Amino acid sequence: MLMPTHKNMLKIIKRSGQSVEFERSKILNAIKGASKDADNQMKESEINNVASFVEGKIRDNGRDVHVEEIQNMVEDALMDLGYKSVAREYIKYRKVHEMRRNAAVKLMDDYRDLLFAKAEDMDLKRDNANINADTSMGIMLKLGTEGAKNFVNNYALDEDVAKADREDWIHIHDKDFSLITFNCCQIDLAKLLKGGFCTGHGFVREPNSIRAASACACVAIQSNQNEMFGGQSINALDFALAPYVHKSFKKALMRILLRMEDWLGRDTYHIIPQSIKEDIIKKLIQGNNIRYGLKGEGVEIAAKAIHAEIFGEKNIEKYQSFREAKKLYHMACEDVEEETKQAMEAMIHNFNTLHSRAGAQVPFSSVNFGLDTSPEGRLVSKWLLEAQYAGMGNGETSIFPITVFQLKAGVNYNPGDPNYDLFKRACEVSAKRLYPKQNWGLLSCTAA
């Protein structure tokens, strides 16, 4: 006969050593949970009978009983009374909770080490190369990381998946952020820059130069790194930045033509009012497709257009001013080349010094380029490669961005392709600046 429930107070000793009042409902809930997952589920009356049987054994002890003893009693009762499938699930339930308790203890040990150990003495502080875990924000990020991993391991993953992860049959990348956000993002920089964008803290208007556009690319990477985890990538960087090389060229040409009397000493041009000069030059640039990087006949056409607007069209080839117009065009090209060079150098330095995630690390960034054959796009690719080749301030190899030079037959893969010279330079940069980051080199060549 099953023991009746008595009203006198029972005390249970918890794992912490604390003594608390016995609660029969906890036994009922544990058996119900095991029964729910078993092949042969128990009826409510059967669950009550097992709980009463266990309670009777507890009372028969005549002393305070440890929680582990009670769980052993429940396990034995299920087996003795023939509920073997439920007993198996109950054993699994105990195992899972034991693992969670052990994980909580380990987490506290990890927290202690993160707070007091140095990175050079602790692998856990060095598992992410671009986080300085000796800084205050780096430590806070690692505390959050380990806490999130602990929760995912013990409360989010199916046991078979968690077991495979624990035993290293699989690896769950960026597990700590798996319940929070998407992992990695490719930014459509051309679309983002067109018309400007919002960082969440303010609106950034569309850039009007290559220098500003490259800075905005870094801001976009940094801002996005704060919104989601993993790497942040810009595809087709050369295509995205080429329009802003053109904007810089137009500004350079206008600046030079506005001061043409300084370059050429032409008093007649000097007396033209500034507002009229600006109107002339805007009409000149917009209406004659004058752009950076023209060669041969293109330069002749550009020079004729400049000459016609400024000096008139009569006997254009005979005038010294025609040769001077070509000189002004080349001066504008040289200006934008220097600006693009500085912009790409600044981009490399920004990618390696801008902090994200509350100042704990630099953004994990990568860029693809090499397929734009326009003069503007080629200029971006050229100076990005040169900036990588030169290295950082003391000549050291930059960690970011991971640069992927894309290959495509007819574009840059074969001798005679318009960007073949860039491909050869990319090979030279890769040879000098190979930097193993995870399973990538600093500069990779991929078939497109």
The string of pLDDT tens digits covering residues 124-143 is: 655 665 566 667 767 777 77
pLDDT over 50 (residue 444): no
- 314 lies in the same domain as 447: yes
What pLDDT does residue 6 have?
45
User: 168-226, pLDDT tens digit by residue?
Assistant: 899 887 787 777 777 777 788 888 888 887 767 778 788 899 999 999 888 888 777 77
What pLDDT does residue 210 have?
95
Give the range of the structural domain holding residue 90, as residue numbers without chain letter: 11-94
- 261 lies in the same domain as 215: yes
Residue 435 pLDDT grade (very low, low, confident, very high; cuts 50, 70, 90): low
Residue 102 lies in a domain: no
Residue 375 pLDDT grade (very low, low, confident, very high; cuts 50, 70, 90): very high
- 367 lies in the same domain as 229: yes
Mean pLDDT of 48-69: 85
- Last residue in a domain, options 60, 94, 128: 94
Residue 41 lies in a domain: yes
Residue 265 lies in a domain: yes
Residue 443 pLDDT grade (very low, low, confident, very high; cuts 50, 70, 90): very low
Residue 109 lies in a domain: no
Q: What backbone torsions phi and psi does residue 414 show, to the nearest 5 degrees? A: -115, 150
pLDDT over 60 (residue 425): yes
Residue 439 pLDDT grade (very low, low, confident, very high; cuts 50, 70, 90): very low
- 65 lies in the same domain as 37: yes
Q: What mean pLDDT is reported for the chain?
A: 79
Residue 103 lies in a domain: no
- 210 lies in the same domain as 64: no
What's 419's domain CATH number?
3.20.70.20
- Last residue in a domain, options 132, 152, 177: 177
- 149 lies in the same domain as 258: no
What pLDDT does residue 123 have?
62
The pTM of the full predicted model, rounded to 2 decimals, is 0.66
- 133 lies in the same domain as 259: no
Residue 86 lies in a domain: yes
- 124 lies in the same domain as 228: no
Residue 346 lies in a domain: yes
Residue 360 lies in a domain: yes
- 356 lies in the same domain as 262: yes
- 304 lies in the same domain as 389: yes
- 352 lies in the same domain as 445: yes
pLDDT over 60 (residue 447): no
Structural domain count, the chain: 3
- Last residue in a domain, options 177, 204, 220: 177
- 215 lies in the same domain as 87: no
